[in-house]
Amino acid sequence: MIRRTHPVTIFANIGRFLFLLLVPLVRSLFYIRSGFFAWLEGAWVDIIVLLFILALAVLRWWCIYYYFTPSAIHIHEGFLLVRTRSIPYQKLSSIYLEDPFWYRPFGAVTLRLDTDAGSVKSHDAILVLKKSAAVELLQMGGIRQSLESLTHQQIFMSRNLYVVILSLITTNYFAGVTFLSVFITKVGDILGEEIAGRVYGTLAHVAQLVALGIPPVAVFLAVLLLLGWAISFARNLIRYYNFCITRAPHRLFITGGIFVQREYSVLFNKIHFLDIQQTLFTKILGIYSAYIKCSGYGKSDDIRPVIIPAAGKKAYRQYLQKLVPEFLLSERTIGPNLFSIFKFIIDPLGFLLADPLLWWVLCKLLPSWESLITVVALLLLVPILWFLCLRVADFLQSGIGVQKDCYTLRYSKGFTLHTVVVHRDKIARVRCRQSIIQMGDDACDVFIYTYGEGLTRHHLKNLPRQEVCRLFGLDPRKRHRFSLKSLVREL
C-alpha cells in the first residue's frame, strides 16, 4: 500500500522556494515611491507568488511516497525527474529515528536510513513520518520488536557525569563561535541591525572592562571564544544527555538526548572498526572514550558515533567486553625504536621555533601592534607545547598489535590519541612508505586503509619494516621502485 510522508514536510518544503519572494520584494522597491495605493494595486502579484510557493511545496510533498514489502522499503520521489530507491532491510547498516520537540505536537518523527553503498556526507534516505508509521516500518524489518524486548536488559546507561566529560572533550570553540555569530546575525535580520550591533558592542565593552592592561582586542577574542566554548559545550551536553546503549544478538541500540530524542539501531556486522580515543588531558586523568565507525551513525547534526562516552581503564574494558566482544583489544607487539622520537616531535618543534621568529618579524613590520602580537604569540605557545607533549605520548604508545583476526592500531591524529581495533576482513589495503632518512634503520610509515563509506586511512609512523611485512604477510625482499619526486619507496 502506498503511503506518504507526514504533511508537516510541506512547511519544510516552503523553505526551498523562498527565493521566489524576490519577485514581490523587487516589485515593492519599484513602487515604494509611488505610494501605498499604487503598491496595493499590484498586490495580486504577491498573492500569486505566495500561492505558487505553497503549491510547489504541496506538490513536492505529494510526489514523495513509499511502500514496504517483507524484505525491503521502496521510496519514490520526484515530479519531472522521478527516482525510485529500494533498500533491503538486510543491507541497512544503521537506522536513525529522531524525535525533536517541535515535531511532537504534530506526532511526527524523522527516520534516516543508511547502507554501506550510500554517500559519505548524506543519508541514503530521509523520511518525515507519523510516529506510528515509523514504528510499523521498523516492525516490518524486525527491528522495533528487538528493541522493545530488550528494554529491561540494558547493558550500559552512562552516568551523566561521564556525558559531561564527553561534552567537555568534544567541545569545539570555533563551532560555538560560528553558531553564536550566525544566531546574532539572524536576530539582526529579524529585529534590525541595531540589535546585532548592540550585542557586539556589549561584548566589546565587557572586553574593555576586564582588559587589565591586556589589549582590548585580545580580550574581546578571548570573551568570544569563551562564549563559543560555552555554547558548544551546552549543545553537546543536550545531545548526549541520558545516553543509553543496549546490545542485542545482532544489533546495538543507542538512545539519548533531551530536546531532540534520538534512537539508533546499528547492525553489528556493519561496524567497520572500533576507535578508542583520548586527548592528552583525558590520558593524564586515565579516562577513555570509545567510538565505532559504521555507515550512518554520527553522520548528521555533529553527532559523534560514541558507544562509551567516558570511563576509567578497568570500566571501559568491561563495557567493551559486553558491548563489542568480537573486537579483541591487544597489546603492542610492534613499535618505533628509541631514536624515532624525532620523527614524532619534529612538527611541534618546528612550530615552537617558528613562533618567536614570526613574533619578531611582525613586530618589526607592525610596531604599533606589538602588544597584541606579543599576547597572541604567547597564547600560541600553549597549544604548541600541548601538541609537543601529545606527540611524546604518541611515541610511547604508537604501534600495532594482533590477536586472532583483530589488529590493534595505535597512533595520533591532530590532538587526539587513537586506539583502533579492526578485523582483518575490513582492511582494504596496506601500504608502507620509506623515506631516505628511514633507510638507515629500515623503518617505514604504514598506511592502513579500512572499508566503509569510502576508505578510512590510518597512519602509523616509523615502524620496523621487516616486522610490518611479516605481520601483514608482505614480502620484505620485494624490489621497490625509487622515486626522486616523492623520495619514498613503496611496497
Q: Which of 425, 475, 467 is nearest to 446 (CA)?
A: 467
C-alpha dihedral (176, 181, 186, 192), degrees to nearest 10: 140
pLDDT in tens, 397-421: 999 999 988 999 999 998 899 999 9
Q: How far is Cα 359 from Cα 381, in angstroms, rounded to an integer? A: 11
Which single residue is written with the C-alpha cell 544527555? Answer: 241
pLDDT of 7: 87
Q: How far is Cα 266 from Cα 54, in angstroms, rounded to an integer? A: 38
Q: How far is Cα 299 from Cα 293, in angstroms, rounded to an integer? A: 10
SS3 assignment for 400-418: EEEECCEEEEEEEECCEEE
Q: Which of 57-61, 442-446, 472-476 has the lowest mean pLDDT?
A: 472-476
Residue 450's DSSP bridge partners are 427, 456
pLDDT in tens, 327-348: 999 999 999 988 889 889 999 9
Q: Which of 18-22, 77-81, 435-439 has the lowest mean pLDDT?
A: 18-22
Residue 34 banded pLDDT, cuts 50, 70, 90: low
pLDDT in tens, 243-291: 888 888 788 888 888 888 888 888 888 899 999 999 888 898 888 989 9
Query: Of residues 122 and 457, which shows the higher confidence score?
Result: 457
pLDDT in tens, 299-319: 876 678 888 888 888 888 888
pLDDT of 273: 94
Question: Are the beta carbons of 238 and 258 closer than 8 angstroms?
Answer: yes
Q: How far is Cα 194 from Cα 234, in angstroms, rounded to an integer? A: 27
What is the Cα 183 distance to its own chain's centre? Answer: 21
pLDDT of 389: 93
pLDDT of 29: 60
DSSP-assigned letter for residue 362:
H
DSSP-assigned letter for residue 476:
T
Distances (CA, A) of 235 to 104, 135, 175, 376: 20, 28, 10, 28
DSSP-assigned letter for residue 334:
B
pLDDT of 170: 64
Q: What are phi and psi for residue 461, nearest 5 degrees?
A: -100, 140
Sign of the four-CA dihedral 408, 410, 413, 418: positive
Q: Which of 205, 102, 89 is nearest to 142 (CA)?
A: 89
Q: Which range scores top for mean pLDDT: 20-24, 91-95, 237-241?
A: 91-95
Q: Which of 174-178, 243-247, 328-332, 392-396 has the lowest mean pLDDT?
A: 174-178
Q: How far is Cα 311 from Cα 299, in angstroms, rounded to an integer? A: 24
Domain boundaries, the chain: 3-62, 90-158+243-323, 174-226, 338-396, 419-490
pLDDT of 182: 44
Q: Is the pLDDT of residue 390 over 90?
A: yes
Question: Are the beta carbons of 111 and 124 closer than 8 angstroms?
Answer: no
pTM above 0.85, yes or no: no
Q: How far is Cα 166 from Cα 233, in angstroms, rounded to an integer? A: 9
